[in-house]
Chains A and B, each alone.
Chain A
């Protein structure tokens, strides 16, 4: 398990419109999160940018294609390439999602849901152990935004996540927006979700904004500011979590960096208020 943090950290995702600002080295953040797959390259500008950003900032590697839920196991070539990157960058940690993206060599590039069954739990635990062994470091697993609830499920999402932690020693990345989105889409109480999580395993939080989809569903689009219901839920999270790494996750309609820093300041303010 990744050791607990001694103080909370505040970071942002490294996105193309902000590369030059991060390369200048004076963005007031404790860490930068990058999408691992964008930097699993042979060379060129992506590798150059990340190496230079790393000179100024701690880095977190956040993946979208590990496919921890795939029934037939993980892609060894993917893990090998990710290990190369991790060994070069020496990140704070490596994370990916409780989801699957494809099977039999196909990648949908969508984070697909898994039924919360004992069979799936056994498979995901086996995959996490495969990843942790290949990478030589523990993994953070992120709760997904889901739009489907399977009739075959036999446990709640938080029970599933808690079992992953207990069986594999992985840590958790809690995406507060994903709790909000899934709670809305499935009519579940986010506070019940929070009450079921092993908080001593939580190392990172994501804050993001969803969009309204068809049929009343919320969609995890990361293209809007963090909305008020997510801030409210964040305050509840902070009453339960110890020191963690907090970041604003914005992937589309990227605003000026100052807007994201302002949201990060709001997170700091919530933390200060909660800790009073």
Chain B
């Protein structure tokens, strides 16, 4: 057997959680279990690290069961476990459709994790260019910045864990995640702000998006100053 074929067989066994097919290839098959255990444990530990508040909300036993099931169908493809689980929130949404706060908590965990090591925000010096055609300008969210559409109060739950656990409740809104210097942050957007930011992030030109938002120019000016100050938006290429 070539090394490539052997490695594909080994890897398939790891993902399936059973390396028994390789028992005849080794001197002491007991060692195979070390790797089946380690490979699963690494992925589950990676998810526990990346989704710490989700773990706390669900409890260790329930989280581990979900993480093991996810790991069995979602191998890692990154060089670091810090990148593992990008679609774990969506997996949780499918698995727990009646507890929407679980997937939303996970989405917030992931967005904060992504902001943690994203490219450093740059001063918005581009906005000082007097020749900018603001009407036609297209913006996008800066690296590490994201806008999450929530149906529940998952953001309040996140903030309350672990000191003062609160009950899940419906609370539709848009939650903005970004990094302030080195610290990941999040907040609920104000009425109209999140919708305008979402329209801009979707690629709408600044002028028409502002018109469609129905917000007054004073409010839009205040939002824009805050976005630029925090480096949340940048011009599209």
B31 & A148 in contact (Cβ 8 Å cutoff)? yes
A115 & B3 in contact (Cβ 8 Å cutoff)? yes
CA–CA, A210 to B76, complex, Å? Answer: 26
A46 & B4 in contact (Cβ 8 Å cutoff)? no
B117 & A107 in contact (Cβ 8 Å cutoff)? no
Tell which of B2, B30, B118 has the most Cβ of chain A within 10 Å: B30
B76 & A149 in contact (Cβ 8 Å cutoff)? no
One of A81, A109, A146 near B81 (C-beta < 8 A):
A109
B117 & A106 in contact (Cβ 8 Å cutoff)? no
Is there a chain A Cβ closer than 8 Å to B57's Cβ?
no
Chain B 96-118 interface 0/1 with A at a Cβ cutoff of 8 Å (1 = within): 00000000000000000001111
Is there a chain B Cβ closer than 8 Å to A177's Cβ?
no
B interface residues with partner A (beta carbon < 8 Å): 1-4, 6-8, 10-11, 14-15, 24-28, 30-35, 38-39, 42-43, 46, 75-82, 115-120, 143-144, 179, 182
B34 & A107 in contact (Cβ 8 Å cutoff)? no
- List residues of chain B with CB within 8 A of the CB of A213: 34
- List residues of chain B with CB within 8 A of the CB of A72: 4
Is there a chain B Cβ closer than 8 Å to A104's Cβ?
yes
A42 & B42 in contact (Cβ 8 Å cutoff)? no
- List residues of chain A with CB within 8 A of the CB of B117: 41-47
Q: In the complex, how many angstroms separate the beta carbon of B112 from the nearest chain A beta carbon? A: 11
CA–CA, A40 to B81, complex, Å? Answer: 12
- A contact residues, range: 35 or more
Q: In the complex, how many angstroms separate the beta carbon of A251 from the nearest chain B beta carbon? A: 12
Q: Which 8 A-B pairs have the closest CB atoms?
A: A147-B31, A71-B4, A41-B117, A215-B30, A43-B120, A65-B79, A42-B119, A71-B3
- List residues of chain B with CB within 8 A of the CB of A107: 75-79
Q: In the complex, how many angstroms separate the beta carbon of A188 from the nearest chain B beta carbon? A: 11
A interface residues with partner B (beta carbon < 8 Å): 37-38, 40-48, 65, 70-72, 75, 78, 81, 100, 102-110, 112, 114-115, 117, 119-120, 123, 146-152, 185-186, 213-217, 219
Complex A-B: 29 CB contacts under 8 Å: A38-B80, A40-B80, A42-B119, A42-B120, A43-B117, A43-B119, A44-B182, A45-B182, A46-B116, A47-B117, A71-B3, A78-B79, A102-B76, A106-B76, A108-B35, A108-B39, A109-B39, A110-B39, A110-B42, A112-B7, A112-B35, A146-B31, A149-B27, A151-B24, A151-B26, A152-B1, A213-B34, A214-B33, A219-B34
CA–CA, A139 to B6, complex, Å? Answer: 26
Using A112-B35, A219-B34 as known contacts, say yes or no to A150 and B25 having CB atoms under 8 A apart. Answer: yes
Using A103-B11, A108-B42 as known contacts, say yes or no to A151 and B79 having CB atoms under 8 A apart. Answer: no
One of A47, A114, A146, A152 near B25 (C-beta < 8 A):
A152
CA–CA, A44 to B119, complex, Å? Answer: 7
CA–CA, A46 to B117, complex, Å? Answer: 7
- List residues of chain A with CB within 8 A of the CB of B79: 37, 40, 65, 75, 78, 81, 107
- List residues of chain B with CB within 8 A of the CB of A81: 79
Q: In the complex, how many angstroms separate the beta carbon of A19 from the nearest chain B beta carbon? A: 12
Q: In the complex, how many angstroms separate the beta carbon of B13 from the nearest chain A beta carbon? A: 11
Q: From A37, which residue of chain B is reached at the shortest CB distance?
A: B80
- List residues of chain A with CB within 8 A of the CB of B24: 151
A151 & B25 in contact (Cβ 8 Å cutoff)? yes
Q: In the complex, how many angstroms separate the beta carbon of A215 from the nearest chain B beta carbon? A: 4
A108 & B14 in contact (Cβ 8 Å cutoff)? yes
CA–CA, A106 to B71, complex, Å? Answer: 12
Q: From B41, which residue of chain A is reached at the shortest CB distance?
A: A110
Q: In the complex, how many angstroms separate the beta carbon of B146 from the nearest chain A beta carbon? A: 15
A119 & B11 in contact (Cβ 8 Å cutoff)? no
- List residues of chain B with CB within 8 A of the CB of A117: 3
B182 & A48 in contact (Cβ 8 Å cutoff)? yes
Using A47-B117, A114-B3 as known contacts, say yes or no to A108 and B76 having CB atoms under 8 A apart. Answer: yes
Q: In the complex, how many angstroms separate the beta carbon of B18 from the nearest chain A beta carbon? A: 14
**A78-B79, A214-B33 given; 20 more Cβ-contact pairs under 8 Å:** A38-B82, A44-B144, A47-B120, A48-B182, A71-B7, A72-B4, A107-B78, A107-B79, A108-B14, A108-B42, A109-B42, A110-B14, A110-B42, A148-B35, A149-B26, A150-B25, A151-B27, A186-B27, A217-B30, A219-B34
CA–CA, A109 to B40, complex, Å? Answer: 9
- List residues of chain B with CB within 8 A of the CB of A65: 79-80
B42 & A214 in contact (Cβ 8 Å cutoff)? no
One of A40, A103, A186 near B8 (C-beta < 8 A):
A103
B3 & A120 in contact (Cβ 8 Å cutoff)? yes
CA–CA, A65 to B46, complex, Å? Answer: 15
B120 & A110 in contact (Cβ 8 Å cutoff)? no
- List residues of chain B with CB within 8 A of the CB of A106: 11, 15, 75-77
